[in-house]
Amino acid sequence: MKTIGIFLRFLVAAVFLCVGVNAAQASLEGDPDASKAASVAREAEQGDAGAQFTLGRMYLKGQGMPQDYGKAFEWFSKAAAQGNARGQYGLGQMYDTGRGIPKDNGKAAEWYRKAAEQGDVDAQYCLGWMYEKGQGVPQDYGKAAEWYGKAAAQGDADAQNGLGWMYENGYGVPRDYGKATEWYEKAAAQGNAYAQCNLGEMYRHGRGVPRDYGKAFDLLSKAAEQGNAAAQNNLGMMYHYGLGVPRDFKKAFEWYSKAEEQGDVGALVNL
């Protein structure tokens, strides 16, 4: 916020109180993040839950002020205590990753659940993932599929891919290649590399869709270009065996090598 005359002195004082010396100096120099931080901090101090979450996120990412996980946790906690779903999700993330606090999967799942039950799509996906992997909660594929489904219905690409994987493998839901393909397609259309790889494999093997090496090659190429190791290995196999593309051992080696550099075991074998 830019002001003139005597109001500048009040602004500087407020910024110093709310976000510290560095942010204040940056605000005076026209830093938009620091200027936003000053405004958000004032609202957070007044008890606005949304502002408290936003301020926590700014501390988490170091936007407008020095990165400070402790203060991020503090402001997420204030927002969460008021029932703010994003603040609850933020706390879940901090416990999940152990940034600024000891890692605690149980508490992460607890806060994800609070946010997920309010419809927070990120928390729904994360809770589904924790049920799938059995982290912080007993492993339960049925509940994983349930929470993936809620997030997928809101358009979350990771959840759509996760739900597709559940249908493909029959985890928590009856195996259904058609539904797996449907969810992979939704996620792949959003550019999700994992879904592009999985959908490519469905076309390569003819699961849920007619076998189509051309479509498999296109999808695997998109995922491989994004750095997906499994797709890089599978694309190497397409070149190796001439599936949907002329056989090219040099390109096969190049893609196997990219995947192997990321620790893909299949690529190591193929090399």
CB 19: neighbour CB atoms within 10 A? 27
CA–CA distance, 248 with 86 (Å, rounded to integer): 49
User: Average of pLDDT values for 255-260?
Assistant: 96
Residue 16: pLDDT above 60?
no
User: Average of pLDDT values for 9-31?
Assistant: 32
- Tell me which residue of 252, 189, 263, 253 sits closest to 228, measured CA to CA: 263
CB-based contact 167:197 (threshold 8 Å): no
The alpha carbon of residue 78 and the mean position of all alpha carbons in its chain are separated, in whole angstroms, by 24
CB-based contact 65:37 (threshold 8 Å): yes
Among all chains, which residue has been given the structure tokens 């075991």? 265
CB-based contact 220:200 (threshold 8 Å): yes
Structure tokens at 89: 């999700």
SS (H, E, C) 99-121: CCCCCCHHHHHHHHHHHHCCCCH
Q: Give 255's pLDDT tier (boundaries 50, 70, 90).
A: very high
CB-based contact 229:262 (threshold 8 Å): yes
191-240 residue pLDDT tens: 999 999 999 999 999 999 999 999 999 999 999 999 999 999 999 999 99
163-187 residue pLDDT tens: 999 999 999 999 999 999 999 999 9
CB-based contact 105:98 (threshold 8 Å): no
Residue 10: pLDDT above 50?
no
Q: Give 34's pLDDT tier (boundaries 50, 70, 90).
A: confident
Cα dihedral value 218, 221, 222, 228, nearest 10: 140
Look at residue 35 in the predicted model and tell me its pLDDT.
Answer: 77
Residue type, 223: A
Q: Give 141's pLDDT tier (boundaries 50, 70, 90).
A: very high
Q: Give 8's pLDDT tier (boundaries 50, 70, 90).
A: very low
What is the pTM (predicted TM-score) of this model?
0.84
The three-state secondary structure class of 235 is: helix
State residue 136 phi and psi, 5-degree precision: 80, -15
- Average pLDDT value over all residues in the chain: 89
CB-based contact 69:59 (threshold 8 Å): yes
Q: Give 65's pLDDT tier (boundaries 50, 70, 90).
A: confident
CA–CA distance, 101 with 111 (Å, rounded to integer): 14
